[in-house]
Amino acid sequence: MLSVNEDFQPGQSYPLGATPYPHGVNFSVYSKHCDGLDLLLFDSAEDAKPARVIHLDPSRNHRTFHYWHAFVPDIGPGQIYAYRAYGPHEPAQGHRYDCNKVLLDPYGRAVAVPRGYDREAARRPGDNAATAMKSVVVALGHYDWEDDAPPDHSSAKSVIYEMHLAGFTRHPSSGVTSEKRGTYAGLIEKIPYLQDLGVTAVELLPVFQFDPQEAPPGLTNYWGYNPVSFFAPHCGYASCTDPQGVLDEFRDMVKALHRAGIEVILDVVYNHTAEAGDGGATLCFKGLDNEGYYILDKDDKALYADFSGTGNTLNANHAVVRRLILDSLRYWAQEMHVDGFRFDLASVLSRDIEGHVVANPPVLWDIETDPILSGTKLIAEAWDASGLYQVGSFFGDHWNEWNGRFRDDVRAFFKGDRGYVEDLAARFLASPDIYGHQEREPEQSINFVTCHDGFTLNDLVSYDEKHNWANGEENLDGADDNRSWNCGVEGETDDVAVQHLRNRQIKNFFTTNLLALGVPMILMGDEARRTQHGNNNPYCHDSELTWFDWRMIEKHAGLHRFVKKLIHFRLSLPVDDQGLSLSDLLHQTPVHWHGVRLDEPDTAHNSHSLAFTIEGVRYWWHLMFSAHSGPLTFELPAVPSEKATRWTRLIDTHMDSPEDFCDPAQAPIVDGLKYRVEPRSVVVLLADRKEA
């Protein structure tokens, strides 16, 4: 053991983390209640004992207020390090110090995971040095961003593609170089596919370093919603093992996506960590300042408030945690060039240090008003796991919201549930019943039918019930309210009629989502009918169950073409209305409502049809939606033009490819003023003002 001497200068409390300088590294970490702190320096991640132990001594100016710090000369990037904290182990008082546990740096920019990493060793008594994750010193300024610039797409010109970074390329059919499958580098190889599809942004499931062992026995935490670091890219997604190389590979990916005109949005988890609750692992925050980093039960501080459904809740409005979150966001925006963030269970951030919901949460004010984040896209999942639901009422002006009502109501309408005609109309027009009173822009509604959490689009039309038995939780996990319909057969089938119906329903969902006001988000692989075989919560499966099987693109080439055409058409639409509030837009763009008869919308409880005409900037639109089991003949309005331009058929989801989507310039003319809409179909007619 090497004690402090003159060679180890006091260092500085700022910046937090490990900061390399020409002649050494400054270390600084926050810990309010600990009695002593050791900085551990390791030669390798697998070492059972540190090569050097530097005891930070307050009497030698290694502590400033609640910050412990030291400057260690003659080390630099690549140095592996961690901490041990000494202090009271009094769970009833909120303190869980355990000097046997090796702790990550909360501000560490890279993480080294030993080959024998063992989450259980971080949970049970005893020393865990040999099996603990450790932090790594890295250099940030050397990277050459070249001419990188954010694509900076307006929300009105955005289509988001939600994907699991590894699952996108891990399947052998991806065509990605074998050693790069499931990695940041592997994603780079598939950028041409994303460009061809037409999406403008990828929204990546969590890429912060997470604990893959937080899962049922024999399984793995695949989704990654269990962070151990808010600064380090997940090293398991890199094709290299060098910690510095992990950072550079992530930045290579961002730079390549930007050059392709595609933004990078990260799904970020600031509501909880992988340490779980009482009896969970001690990896970092518990061992440094349990009472500060987590919301504890007000009556028994040995217990954790759980608004996240994971065993703990990050104390986001504690001053130190607020700073951590802001510093993390700024880091990813400035150093990693990320374009935006989707906040998992964002409503947790509305809770104060005792867990109460407050009107003006400090951390959300910080994010809302931060000048560095002002140019990024901020998306809230505006609910939490304890019933707080803030869709339409989430804090601030900068935020967009995942519109869960869009998902639920659109699913219910096409399933054939009663009473959803008016809801469908509202969702298509960016939910004025939810957002209109706030004078919001329509793009503040992020519209989606499916996401990682739940059925894929294929499974939504193939299963009435969830089939989560492989998760090891007796099929009790995952949502029960899916508003799904199997089209007559549960699961896979060769029945041609059922397959045609399922394909039609999928096209109905895509058409509604990609033409509605708001920002559409689609799920990885839905364009090729990716299936999870009825599992609506496959968070613990890193296998072909969750990977994108690229052979499905050829199998469902017609659907893939339909989606691609639809995306490109949406992005080709003019945006003269950009900048108007939702209420202004709807006021200035006449919408005429119909049923099967003109000007007679049928909003009865048992109605399953809707039609409306929109006088748009470039096109007049006439849209007909039917969830009826039989055909319906709709009356068509005369084209509102001084010239006799007729309606042309852009989309009819009942038709097979390529007739289901016709390019506007080649779209067939509709004869007469009636149109037969086949069972469970959507039809979109256009009249081009430039040709009028």
Residue type, 624: M
DSSP letter at 301 equals T
Question: Residue 644: pLDDT above 80?
Answer: no
Considering only residues 526 and 396, tell me which one the structure prediction assigns the higher pLDDT: 526
User: Mean pLDDT over residues 398-414, rounded?
Assistant: 97
| pLDDT value of residue 578 | 46
452: three-class secondary structure by DSSP: coil
> Is residue 638 packed enough to be buried (19+ CB in 10 Å), middle (13-18) or exposed (0-12)?
exposed
**636, two tokens:** 């068509």
Question: What is the rounded distance in angstroms from the CA atom of residue 72 to the CA atom of residue 26?
Answer: 6
CA distance 386 to 307: 5
In three-state secondary structure terms, 519 is: strand
**Of 136, 156, 188, which residue constitutes the final position of a domain?**
136
Which pLDDT score is estimated for 3? Answer: 43
The CATH number covering residue 103 comes to 2.60.40.10
The active-site residue out of 105, 291, 344, 409 is: 344
Task: Among 292-301, 313-322, 631-640, name the one with the lowest average pLDDT.
Answer: 631-640
* Catalytic, out of 162, 381, 401, 423: 381
Tokens 């748009």 sit at which residue? 616
> What is the structure's pLDDT at 585?
56
pLDDT value at residue 431: 93
- pLDDT value of residue 688: 81
Which pLDDT score is estimated for 383?
94
| Token pair 């399953």 in the structure block, residue | 608
State the pTM of this model. Answer: 0.96
Tell me, yes or no, whether 613 lies in a domain: yes
Query: How far is 104 from 122, CA to CA, in rounded Å?
Result: 12
Condensed to tens digits (0 to 9), the pLDDT of residues 581-626 reads: 545 555 577 899 999 999 999 999 999 999 999 887 777 899 999 9
Displacement of CA 272 from its chain's centroid (Å):
15
* pLDDT given for residue 7 in this prediction: 56
pLDDT at site 641: 62
Task: Decide if 417 contacts 604 (C-beta within 8 A).
Answer: no
Give CA–CA dist 671/647, Å, rounded: 8
Which pLDDT belongs to residue 574?
A: 74
The average pLDDT across 470-490 equals: 97
Q: What is the pLDDT of residue 215?
A: 93
End position of a domain, from candidates 136, 154, 188: 136
Pairing of the two strands 648-652 and 36-42:
unpaired
Does the pLDDT of residue 691 top 70, yes or no?
A: no
pLDDT above 90 covers a percentage of the chain that reads 88
* Contacts with 144 (C-beta within 8 Å, 6 or more apart), sequence order: none
pLDDT band at 452 (very low <50, low <70, confident <90, very high): very high
Question: In angstroms, rounded to a whole number, what is the distance separating the alpha carbons of residues 78 and 139?
Answer: 9
Does some domain include residue 627? yes
Q: What mean pLDDT is reported for the chain?
A: 94
The residues with which 684 forms a beta bridge, in sequence order, are 623, 651
In a domain, 614, yes or no: yes
Give the model's pLDDT for residue 299. 92
- Write the DSSP assignment of 245-295 as a string of letters: HHHHHHHHHHHHHHHTT-EEEEEE--S--TT-STT---SSHHHHHHHHHBP
Mean pLDDT of 462-480: 97
Q: pLDDT digits over 167-210, tens only?
A: 999 999 999 999 999 999 999 999 999 999 999 999 999 999 99
Output the pLDDT for position 78: 97
Place of tokens 């110090």: 97
> What's the pLDDT at 4?
40
3-state secondary structure of 583: helix
Give yes or no for a contact between 511 and 651, defined as CB atoms under 8 angstroms apart.
yes
Report yes or no: 100 and 48 within 8 Å, Cβ to Cβ.
no
Number of domains in the chain: 2
**What pLDDT is attached to residue 577?**
44
CA 41 to CA 21: how far, in whole Å? Answer: 17
In a domain, 165, yes or no: no
Average pLDDT over residues 490-507: 98
Rounded distance between C-alpha atoms, residue 619 and residue 623, angstroms: 12
145, part of any domain: no
Q: Is residue 616, in this structure, part of any structural domain at all?
A: yes
CA-to-CA distance for 376 and 367, rounded, in angstroms? 10
Tell me if 208 is assigned to some domain: no
Residue 392, phi-psi category: left (phi > 0), alpha (psi -120 to 50), beta (remainder): left
Please give the pLDDT value at position 441: 77
**What are the tens digits of pLDDT across the range 499-554?**
999 999 999 999 999 999 999 999 999 999 999 999 999 999 999 999 999 999 99
CATH of the domain at 595: 2.60.40.1180
Task: Report how far apart, in Å, the C-alpha atoms of 221 and of each of 18, 152, 196, 376, 543 are.
Answer: 28, 33, 31, 29, 11
Residue 639 pLDDT: 83
pLDDT at 6: 44
Q: Where does a domain end: 116, 136, 156? A: 136
Nearest residue to 582 via CA among 396, 382, 428 = 428
Name which of 40-54, 460-474, 488-502, 568-582 the model is least confident about.
568-582
Domain containing residue 29: 17-136
Q: Assign 438 a pLDDT band (cuts: 50, 70, 90).
A: low
**Cβ–Cβ < 8 Å for 244, 139:** yes
Tracing tokens 């319906």 back to the chain, one arrives at 632
Residue-wise pLDDT tens digits, 109-123: 999 999 999 999 999
Spatial distance between the Cα atoms of 406 and 519, rounded to a whole number of angstroms: 11
How far, in Å, CA of 464 to CA of 458, rounded? Answer: 12
Active site residue 344: yes
**Residue 312 structure tokens:** 């703990």
Q: Is residue 217 part of a domain?
A: no
- pLDDT (0 to 100) of residue 620: 87
Q: What is the model's pLDDT at position 8?
A: 79
